[in-house]
């Protein structure tokens, strides 16, 4: 993924181009969806992740969480297609759940920063 997906705008563009026939309510809010995913990953890992310099190891998680959110929003508005695959309203939630589960597994691999303090009293 590297530099091509290092900003929230580039991730939003990637997802928008991956999903065809997006409703305006989804495509117009894609940057916000990506930013919320970035903040979630940052809070989960305990690492500060900027919106314009996303490290490569966090990009996949953010993409998958954002894709799940976009698919959830699409399912509330109708059908869509992902590349050559077409999804009707019933299949979109299953696909969104798949992206979300993948992102959660990736987050577990990344781990969390933890601070251990020792009390001397």
| Residue linked to tokens 């798949």 | 98
Ordered alpha helix ranges (H), the chain: 8-18, 24-27, 30-45, 56-75, 92-110
Question: In this predicted model, what pLDDT tens digit does every residue of 45-54 receive, in sequence order?
Answer: 999 999 898 9
Does 88 have pLDDT greater than 70?
A: no
Q: What kind and span of H or E run contains 20? A: strand 19-20
Domain ranges of the chain: 2-110
The tokens describing 112, both together, are: 């969390």
CB atoms closer than 10 angstroms to residue 27 = 17
- What pLDDT band is residue 26 in, cutting at 50, 70 and 90? confident
Task: Give the pLDDT confidence score for residue 13 in this predicted structure.
Answer: 92
pLDDT of residue 67: 92
Query: Does the pLDDT of residue 79 top 80, yes or no?
Result: no
């Amino acid at each position: 993924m590297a530099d091509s997906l290092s900003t929230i705008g580039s991730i939003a563009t990637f997802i928008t181009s991956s999903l065809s026939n997006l409703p305006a309510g989804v495509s117009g809010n894609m940057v916000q969806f990506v930013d919320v995913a970035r903040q979630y990953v940052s809070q989960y890992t305990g690492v500060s992740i900027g919106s314009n310099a996303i490290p490569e190891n966090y990009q996949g998680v953010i993409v998958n969480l954002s894709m799940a959110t976009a698919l959830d929003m699409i399912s509330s508005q109708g059908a869509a297609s992902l590349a050559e695959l077409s999804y009707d309203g019933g299949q979109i939630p299953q696909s969104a759940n798949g992206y979300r589960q993948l992102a959660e597994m990736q987050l577990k691999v990344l781990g969390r920063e933890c601070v251990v303090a020792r009390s001397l009293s």
